[in-house]
Amino acid sequence: MKADRLHALAEAYGADLRRWPASERVFAESLIAADPSLKTVLAQAAALDALLDASAAPTPSADLTARLLAAAPKAKTRRYHLDRIALFLGAGWAAAACAGVVAGVGLTTHVTADERADAVLYQSTLVEVDDTEVLG
């Protein structure tokens, strides 16, 4: 690491090496150890860090905390699970009923068609009988 890079890192991340890229901390420390005059670079950055730290972080209000806790996910109760089972069974019965209706309608159509065909066949047979009777 060159001294220029040390300047650049202090300029970007400040004086606290814990904020520096992990890969460059050791090199920075060795560079400063070799040239103690570079400590002034960190001292300059530390002055601005101290000012930044004067900005107080807000404290969440008790009201906000209470609102959030009231809205937090609730554990599923035994009643919830029974309701889910009832819902599942109800849905099963409803599906079976629907299937019955569909099958019934389909079967009715099929049976009706067969009966009509039989009736037509029967009538045509009768016509043939009548023709025989008429024609001799």
Q: Which stretch binds another protein (CB under 8 A): 30-38, 51-59, 96-104, 118-126?
A: 51-59
Task: Return the amino acid letter for 109.
Answer: T
Binds another protein (CB under 8 A): choice among 36, 62, 73, 88: 73
Do 16 and 49 contact (CB within 8 A), yes or no?
A: yes
Do 1 and 24 contact (CB within 8 A), yes or no?
A: yes
71 binds another protein (CB under 8 A): yes
Report, in Å, the least distance between residue 106 CB and another protein.
41
Contact set for another protein, span 116-135 (CB under 8 A): none
Size of the site for another protein (CB under 8 A): 40
65 binds another protein (CB under 8 A): yes
Q: Give 68 or 127: the residue with its C-beta nearer to another protein.
A: 68
Do 45 and 11 contact (CB within 8 A), yes or no?
A: yes
CA distance 47 to 52: 9
SS3 18: helix
